[in-house]
Every structure is written in C-alpha cells, then in structure tokens.
C-alpha cells in the first residue's frame, strides 16, 4: 500500500511534510475562491494543493491534496458537484464517462457509459463556474494504492481465462468501487482501472528527489494518468502492457461545454 502523496514523490513524514507545505505557500500559485485560498505548487507534472481559510486578517491551514497533470483527457457528463460538508474548499464531482465528440445540452435524464466520482482539488472555484448537468473534458489522474502488470494483452487474457474463482476483468475496464455501499466524500472517488499502457516514464519530484512512475492508460470510456510509487512496481510497465490499479481519483475540468 502507498499513501497518495508518495505516488508523486511527496511524503507525509514530519518534518519534511511541513517543509513542503511551507514551500507551497511561499512558492505556489495563489488562487482565490469564495471560501478561502488555494496555493498550487507545481513540481513538473506533480502538484501539491494547499488550502487556507481566511479568518479576517488571519489565515488558517485547512488541508492539502496531491494532483497530477499528465495530459490524459476523458469526455464526461457532470451530473453533480458535491461539496464536503466539513471542508468547504474540497469536494467531488459525480459524472458519467461520455462518448468523445458528443456535444449539445444535456438534461437530468441523460447518462453516459458508466458513472464515477473524482475529487476536485479546485472544487470551490469549479462550483462557482457552472451548474450541472453539463458536458466537460476532465483531466483525470489515478493515484495507485496497488498496481499489477502484464507484459501484453494476450498474457493478461490467458490469466483471466484461468481464473476459477473470483471475478475476471476485461483488459479495458473501469469499476467505480467508491460508489459501492454508502461511501461519502472522497471515499467515493475510488476505482479499479484496467487498461493498456500508451505512455510510460519514471519521473523525479524535484522538490524531494524521489522517483515515481507515471503511466498514460487507455481504459474503457477514455484515458487517465496513473501514478505510483516506485516501491509498488517490479519494473516500469512498457507501452502496450496491461495494468490494473486500485486508485483514488483526482480530476480537473479543463474544458466546459
């Protein structure tokens, strides 16, 4: 298992994590929202989002979240934006993966390929821009808590055929496990994602010197970036290999329709 910060080379260990927060506040991009401020520290594709409440002239640390911007995009229909009741700067979207190229208005009865939830690091800004339902392009990143790999689709398919117990997966599948049961908040933003690797690289977090894997994964309904701590992998998956990752999902709406 890996915490999500480790997936992009950060750490929650003190005092290093406190230093990371201080640098994000000092060096990060400052974004103002209705309920507070975001400070976004860009370390290459890795991002650390630090949230602050404004209490008169005083500011108070609210939290921090990782994100990764690797260029993967997914067409979605956003059905709701759900604010965290305890932390108003945080929240999730509930959306359906959509067929690329679809356009036009949507109504409350229209659905896409499958539903899922993703945490939005800039929730309070997004919530003030648009009222669901609407179509959008989502930059989606999966922070792997565990990951498996197969050298090619034939090897993966052969192993699935040998499965005598449990559930066999298609080589391109997206199972929104966070929507099962009565999960709330960011616990909803989890999925088991299986897909073909279309891009693969080892990146270094320049702030910490830690290495991590960044994969572009083609899955059912679109693509996403999957990031994982090096300790989770036996080797960097190659292009055209198949991976299956249990992920926490973080997304940003990069285009609204």
Q: Give the C-alpha distances (Å, rounded to integers) separating 203 from 145, 208, 215.
A: 18, 12, 10
pLDDT for res 208? 94
pLDDT for res 1? 38
pLDDT for res 240? 98
Q: Give the C-alpha distances (Å, rounded to integers) separating 129 from 4, 27, 32, 34.
A: 28, 26, 13, 11
pLDDT for res 182? 86
pTM: 0.93
Compute CA 101 distance to the chain's CA centroid, rounded to the nearest angstrom. Answer: 23
pLDDT for res 148? 96
Separation between Cα atoms, residue 49 and residue 26, nearest integer Å? 12
Mean pLDDT of the chain: 92
Percent of the chain with pLDDT over 90: 79
pLDDT for res 256? 74
Q: Are strands 29-33 and 36-43 parallel, antiparallel or unpaired?
A: antiparallel
For residue 204, give both structure tokens.
């270094």
**Strand partners for 92:** 82, 119
Q: Running DSSP on this structure, what letter comes out for residue 40? A: E
């Amino acid at each position: 298992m890996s915490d999500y910060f480790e997936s992009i080379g950060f750490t929650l260990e003190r005092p290093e994590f406190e230093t990371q927060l201080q640098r994000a506040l000092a060096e990060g991009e400052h974004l103002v929202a209705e309920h507070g401020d975001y400070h976004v520290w860009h370390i290459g594709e890795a991002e650390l989002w630090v949230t602050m409440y404004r209490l008169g002239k005083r500011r108070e640390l609210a939290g921090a979240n990782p994100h990764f911007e690797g260029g993967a995009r997914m067409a979605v229909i956003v059905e709701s934006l759900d604010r965290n009741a305890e932390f108003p700067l945080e929240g999730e979207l509930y959306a359906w993966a959509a067929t690329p190229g679809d356009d036009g208005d949507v109504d409350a009865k229209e659905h896409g390929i499958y539903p899922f939830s993703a945490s939005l690091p800039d929730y309070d800004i997004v919530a003030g821009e648009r009222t669901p339902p609407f179509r959008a392009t989502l930059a989606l990143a999966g922070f792997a808590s565990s990951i498996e790999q197969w050298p090619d689709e034939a090897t993966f398919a052969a192993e699935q055929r040998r499965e005598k117990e449990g559930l066999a997966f298609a080589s391109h599948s997206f199972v929104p496990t966070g929507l099962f049961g009565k999960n709330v908040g960011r616990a909803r933003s989890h999925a088991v994602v299986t897909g073909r690797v279309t891009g693969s690289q080892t990146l270094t977090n320049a702030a910490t010197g830690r290495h991590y894997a960044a994969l572009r994964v083609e899955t059912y309904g679109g693509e996403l970036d999957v990031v994982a701590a090096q300790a989770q992998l036996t080797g960097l998956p190659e292009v055209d290999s198949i991976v299956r990752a249990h992920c926490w999902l973080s997304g940003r709406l990069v285009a609204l329709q």
